[in-house]
Structure formats: structure tokens, C-alpha cells
Amino acid sequence: MADEISVLIVDDSALMRNLIGRMVEETPGLMIADKAMNGIFALQKIPRVNPDIICLDLEMPEMNGIEFLKERKKHGIEIPVVILSSIAAKGAEITMEALSLGASDFVQKPSGSISGDIHTVRDTLIPMLLGYGGQYRKLHGKKLLSPQEAAARQQPLSTPAADTHKTTELLATILGTAPPVTPAKVPVQIRKPADTQIIAIGISTGGPDALRVVFSKLDADLKVPIVVVQHMPAGFTGEFAKSLDRVCPLDVKEAEEGDPIIPGRILVAQGNKHLEVERRGAAVAAHLSDAPQVSGHRPSADVLFASVALVYQNHALGVIMTGMGRDGAQQLGTIFKEGGMTLGQDEASAVVYGMPRVAYELGHVQEQVSLNKMANRICAIAKTHR
């Protein structure tokens, strides 16, 4: 089973190691590389088991998650890390420190450091392990199981058939072998594109890393406001915005009700709040909403894109990036139909080529761009006079 994505599970609780291990074993395309009770043992095991992805707790004795990440960096270990940890009083700040030290993403344990209901985060954790682990294998020239091979290796009684089907679909998305959602048909634009007055970004799994790359490369003289939906739990987006602000030449902040949409500033949607833009007299401001989930999310990129298309019409640039599912794909088309410009992250650089793939196959993406070139392309479009 050498073609499966191997996971090193690092947690000081034997119960947690077993419960997480069970989720891994029941997932087509994943296997357990090994388990470790703290960072010291993890560092010792990495050269021997050579995992594709590390699932890491933060609160552990002797060497905690933050200390492990520092050692990982010192030793030049490139294996991606997904944080799976409980939330303490400073949880958000510690989690953002972990991301700044090279962790790729994070999942919040639902009920403390020992969570008997850890299975409730399966639908969030498994796509991350498959996505980051699969990308690591591809970058290092390792073979990946096809969805058909993964399904064939699935133990028939261990997981409900519906879950097995869902996971093999996910694996197909990550491998880029999923069938087309619908034949591509480019919508008819109502008007021609005009000067860019706003940039809207929708992003999910793989987003923390991707946004850090893009925002660090933006031009300091970019005079167009940016609004962002990153799927992230409530309580984290404030610290996340601060972490992005430290690497970005523009100002980055968590969106608050009534924040003016002004040039040179980036607003990041709050966790569990929809973000919209709305015209208020001569100005445009941010509006936060507790309305029901859209496309399975709150905040939803579809909600943001729809409001941007309504207010800015052909003066908008919509960008859809790495993420599982289809949030943002439909309403990116509304931006395009109104005469706006649209970009999608390409398959090769996306951790999960889900959201951008659906948008592309709907005909809603004018141009696919790699992650490393995304900032330059955004700035070039925003600065072009039309």
C-alpha cells in the first residue's frame, strides 16, 4: 500500500491517537505512517517512517507543537503539518503562531484536548490530510492511488457506503480526475470590463498558506480595495488577519460592520459571518450577516461575490482559489456576466482543486493562474486602464 498518503499522528493522548488513527484507516487513500506522543518522538520517527503529512496536537509534554515546528524548521523538514488541537484562552494567537512557523492549516478539536466526539471534524480534517499530503507526494514524484484503487482497498464494512463514495470523490478532486460537473459554457457579458475598483477573493482548504504567498507579493502601491472570504471558524479570523498584515505591504484587518471599502486595504470576513459590500450613499461599506449558510458555508464566497457584482458590476475582479467543494463558483459567474474580470487558481498549484475547478468548468474563469504568479496577475489587472 505504498501509494497511499501516509500520516504521522502526534498527540499526547492515547485515546486521541487511536480515534484519529481510526479515521485515517477508514479513509481510502490514507494510511498511518506511525504515532507519537510528543514532538521529541515525532522528530525521531520522521526519518524512519517518512510520512507525507503530519497531524499535530499543540498541547503536549516535553516538546509541544510550537517547539516541534521550530525544530522542524531548523532541520529543514518540508513535510506538511496540519494542526489538530483544542482551543485554550490564547488558542487563536497560538494557532496563528503555528501557521507562521510553517504549519499548513488547522482544525479545532470540538471539545477540549481529549475529544470523544473528534469524529465530528472528519469532514474538515480528511480533505486537509488528503490535499496537503497528496500535494506533497506529487511534488516529490511519488505515485498516488487512483480513486478506483482507493475504493477497491476500502474495507467494505468499516465505513458506510455513502462516506466511502464521498471520500473517493474527494480523492478524485485532489487528483484532478473528477468528471466534469457540467459542460463549460462561457456566459454572455452584459458590458465590457472597466477599470478595477474592487478585488474579491474566495478561498478555503489550502487558503492560509496560499493567502500568505499572494499577500506577501502584492504591490505596495496597489490602490484597489480587497475583500476576502477564507473559510475559517469564528474566533480565528482576527488573529489570521493580523498574521497576514505582518507579511503584506497593504493594511489587512478583520472586517467589521460598516467598515468603509477603501483603496489599499484588505478586509477578511469574520468566521461564522457572511461578508457583503453595500452602497451607502456615495460610499461603499462592509456588511456582516448571520443569514443561513450558503453553499455549505458562512462566510460564503458566493454571498460576497454576488454583492460585489451587484455594487461594482464591470469594475470588479473576482478570484477563486484552492478549496474543497463549489462555494463561490456560481456567483463568480455573476461577476463575469456583469462585465467584471475573473481569475482561478490552476490545478497544479492548488492544494484542493475543487472550488476553482467547478468555476472553470462552468465557464466562469477567464484565466487560470498559478499560486506564485497570482499576486502579479491581480496587480496587473487592477492597474490596467480600460
pLDDT digit string (tens) for 225-237?
A: 999 999 998 889 9
The Cα 143–Cα 5 span in angstroms is 9
CATH class label, 5-175: alpha beta
Helix, strand, or coil here: 239? helix
Q: Which among 12, 302, 327, 346 is annotated as catalytic?
A: 327
Q: Which among 209, 231, 297, 349 is annotated as catalytic?
A: 231
Q: Active site includes 327?
A: yes
pLDDT of residue 169: 64
Q: Nearest CA to 24 among 49, 44, 45, 4?
A: 4
pLDDT of residue 269: 98
Domains 5-175 and 198-383 share a fold: yes
Q: Active site includes 231?
A: yes
Read off the pLDDT of residues 246-303 as tens digits, 9 standing for 90 and up.
999 999 999 999 999 999 999 999 999 999 999 998 899 999 999 999 988 999 999 9
Beta strands in the chain (DSSP E): 5-10, 30-36, 53-56, 81-85, 105-108, 198-203, 226-230, 251-254, 265-268, 274-280, 283-289, 316-320, 341-345, 367-369
The Cα 51–Cα 40 span in angstroms is 16
Read off the pLDDT of residues 317-364 as tens digits, 9 standing for 90 and up.
999 999 988 999 999 999 999 999 999 999 889 998 889 999 999 999
Helix, strand, or coil here: 105? strand
- How far does the chain reach from its first CA to its final CA, in angstroms? 55
Read off the pLDDT of residues 35-66 as tens digits, 9 standing for 90 and up.
999 999 999 999 999 999 999 999 999 999 99
Q: Where are the domains of the chain?
A: 5-175, 198-383
CATH topology assigned to domain 198-383: Rossmann fold (3.40.50)
DSSP 279-294: EETTEEEEEEE-PPPB
pLDDT of residue 157: 43
Cell reading at 49 = 517512517
The Cα 196–Cα 37 span in angstroms is 51
Instruction: Name the more confident of 141 and 154.
Output: 141
Q: Which among 204, 243, 307, 349 is annotated as catalytic?
A: 204
State the average pLDDT over residues 308-319. 97
Residue 161 has pLDDT above 60, yes or no: no
pLDDT of residue 162: 52
Q: Active site includes 385?
A: no
